[in-house]
């Protein structure tokens, strides 16, 4: 085999996490090849990401990593230290306003975690919520309902309980461009990317990873293969024969996001913020062209549509109308378009909606999976975590018995990677939704 087909590591998947891992490993002077079955970096589920940056999760370590991620996006070009002929993404640090509801314990737990981390926020009365977003109604419709429920749209006697504005939050303007930025930074450090390249086999020799074989029969040699294949991650784990020993597994979940115009007279694009609202089971963020992007927080009343990532319906369903109608409860002047617009994509979801950043039981095979929906914001940090895990294990460290620690340099905090182990117990405190 020619030297050109030998690498220190092969990454399968050129989404936002795959590109970030390529950058982190290449900065450690590893010879890295990233392959993807699609024609460009960030072309798959990453391109459909809402690219929301926010610090609150259900655990301290997950929140710490998300809070840390905010600073990488703030200092994006400094982090990349590379040029991109397409330009760079913009991080709109507009803040995230979240409704207090019984479902989220009126955000007491989230605020306690923010206090521990030093992240800033402010409590808002319903009057202050309306000052921040004048288009809002502060009626309560909790719990979220389907639109065929006879009580859908019927307000409770009480108003919302208020909200919290988290300051280190916002969104990235173009998730696919963000991935391309990472690709160019990785290439500056010697990494290579190959597209339109699908994997047929995880090659093994002597009980260890030996590389990959592509669907066109080409073999690429490497002692390390990293599964960062997004919604296809479970198929890659099955291909490698490692899924059976994992306590936490992944599945592909179909999801829809709606794009609608902001109500007349509201400059939501420039004056709006992220708004997360478990009272109605949805969230919104500003979108270009003074539009609003509407997503679901996966309330219990909604069915989960688990699918084969190679065979799912790309067309909008009744869920699109549900998203818009739920948002119209909160924004009464919102127009209901006659034509659906938005995104139909897949999440790569673990059993507790927290990611897996880990090794596997096959020596040389690693995984950064279960990341879709709520890990885009963490990509710059997750890439470094994965690079440290791979380097540590390849140097002989027993990561299963002693998960490595990672130093978050911006907030000067150590986190254990045990929370993202494939062998962890399912986190019963999870939201079991896109909120993580």
- pLDDT tens digits, one per residue of 149-179: 999 999 999 999 999 999 999 999 999 999 9
Q: Which domain holds residue 285?
A: 96-167+251-347
From CA 373, how far away is CA 62, in angstroms rounded?
14
What letters, b where the CB count within 10 A reaches 16 and e where it falls short, cover 130-164? eebbebbbbbbbbbbbbeeeeebeeeeeeebbbbb
Angle, CA of 35, 373 and 301, to the nearest 5°: 140
Dig out the tokens for 364 from the structure.
């040389």
Same domain, 230 and 284: no
Enumerate residue ranges in the chain where pLDDT < 50: 1
Task: Compute the half-sphere exposure of residue 428: CA atoms within 13 Å on the CB side of its CA.
Answer: 1
Give tens-digit pLDDT for 4-32.
Answer: 799 999 999 999 999 999 999 999 999 99
From CA 371, how far away is CA 216, in angstroms rounded?
28
Same domain, 58 and 191: yes
Domain boundary among 332, 347, 362: 347
Number of domains in the chain: 2
Q: What is the pLDDT of residue 436?
A: 65
Same domain, 45 and 66: yes
Same domain, 255 and 341: yes
In a domain, 229, yes or no: yes
Same domain, 8 and 121: no
In a domain, 203, yes or no: yes
From CA 424, how far away is CA 403, in angstroms rounded?
11
Question: From the CA atom positions of the chain, what is the Rg in Å?
Answer: 21
Calculate the CA 328 to chain-centre distance. 26
Domain harbouring 147, CATH code: 3.30.9.10
Residue position matching structure tokens 């490993």: 25
Q: What is the pLDDT of residue 427?
A: 74
In a domain, 197, yes or no: yes
214 DSSP β-pair partners = 199
Cis peptide before 31 (omega within 30 of 0): no
Same domain, 244 and 356: yes
From CA 121, how far away is CA 97, in angstroms rounded?
9
Same domain, 220 and 301: no
Q: What is the pLDDT of residue 146?
A: 97
Q: What 3-state DSSP class applies to 417?
A: helix
Residue 274: enclosing H or E segment and its boundaries? strand 274-277
In a domain, 56, yes or no: yes
Candidates 47, 119, 62, 54; CA nearest to 357 is 62
DSSP for 287-309, written as a single string: ETTTEEEEEE---TTSPP-EEBT
Domain boundary among 291, 324, 347: 347
Same domain, 235 and 309: no
Cis peptide before 101 (omega within 30 of 0): no
Candidates 199, 224, 223, 195; CA nearest to 212 is 199
Taking each continuous run of H as one helix and of E as one strand, the counts in the chain are: 10, 23
Sign of torsion over alpha carbons 204, 205, 210, 211 = negative
From CA 410, how far away is CA 388, in angstroms rounded?
17
Same domain, 63 and 109: no
Residues 288 and 269: beta-carbon distance below 8 Å: yes
Domain boundary among 298, 319, 347: 347
Q: What's the pTM value of the predicted model, to 2 decimals?
A: 0.97
Same domain, 29 and 104: no
Same domain, 413 and 305: no
State residue 169 phi and psi, 5-degree precision. Answer: -155, 160
Residues 291 and 269: beta-carbon distance below 8 Å: yes
Dig out the tokens for 367 from the structure.
């995984």
In a domain, 228, yes or no: yes
Q: What is the pLDDT of residue 360?
A: 98
Candidates 230, 228, 254; CA nearest to 348 is 230
């Amino acid at each position: 085999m020619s030297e050109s087909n030998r690498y220190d590591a092969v990454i399968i998947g050129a989404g936002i996490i795959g590109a970030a891992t390529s950058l982190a490993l290449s900065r450690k002077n590893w010879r890295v090849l990233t392959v993807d079955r699609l024609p460009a970096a960030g072309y798959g589920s990453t391109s459909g990401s809402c690219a929301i940056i926010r610090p609150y999760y259900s655990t301290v370590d997950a929140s710490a990593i998300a809070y840390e991620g905010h600073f990488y996006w703030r200092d994006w070009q400094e982090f990349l230290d590379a040029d991109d002929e397409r330009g760079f993404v913009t991080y709109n640090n507009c803040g995230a306003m979240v409704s207090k509801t019984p479902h989220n314990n009126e955000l007491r737990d989230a605020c306690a975690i923010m206090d521990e981390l030093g992240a800033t926020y402010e409590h808002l009365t319903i009057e202050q919520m309306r000052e921040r977003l004048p288009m809002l109604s502060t009626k309560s419709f909790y719990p979220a309902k389907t639109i065929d429920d006879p009580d859908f749209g019927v307000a409770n006697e009480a108003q919302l309980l208020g909200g919290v504005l988290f300051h280190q939050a916002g969104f990235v303007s173009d998730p696919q461009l963000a991935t391309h930025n990472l690709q160019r930074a990785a290439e500056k450090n010697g990494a290579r990317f190959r597209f339109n390249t699908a994997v047929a086999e995880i090659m093994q020799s002597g009980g260890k990873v030996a590389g990959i074989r592509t669907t066109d029969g080409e073999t690429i040699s490497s002692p390390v293969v990293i599964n960062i294949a997004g919604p296809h991650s479970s198929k890659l784990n099955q291909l490698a024969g490692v899924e059976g020993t994992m306590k936490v597994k992944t599945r592909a979940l179909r999801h829809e996001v709606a794009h609608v115009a902001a109500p007349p007279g509201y400059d939501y694009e420039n004056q709006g913020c992220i708004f997360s609202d478990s009272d109605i089971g949805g969230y919104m963020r500003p979108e270009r062209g003074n539009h609003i992007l509407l997503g679901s927080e996966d309330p219990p009343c909604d069915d989960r549509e688990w699918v084969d990532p190679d065979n799912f319906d790309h067309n909008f369903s009744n869920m699109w109308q549900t998203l818009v109608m739920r948002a119209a409860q909160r924004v009464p002047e919102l127009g209901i378009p006659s034509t659906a617009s938005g995104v139909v994509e897949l999440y790569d979801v673990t059993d507790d909606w927290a990611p897996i950043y880990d090794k596997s039981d096959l020596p040389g095979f690693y995984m950064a999976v279960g990341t879709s929906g709520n890990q885009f914001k963490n990509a710059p940090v997750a890439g470094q975590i994965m690079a440290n895990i791979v380097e540590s294990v390849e140097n002989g460290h027993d990561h299963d018995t002693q998960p490595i620690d990672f130093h978050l340099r911006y907030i000067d905090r150590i986190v254990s990677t045990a929370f993202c182990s494939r062998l962890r117990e399912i986190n019963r405190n999870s939201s079991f939704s896109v909120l993580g």
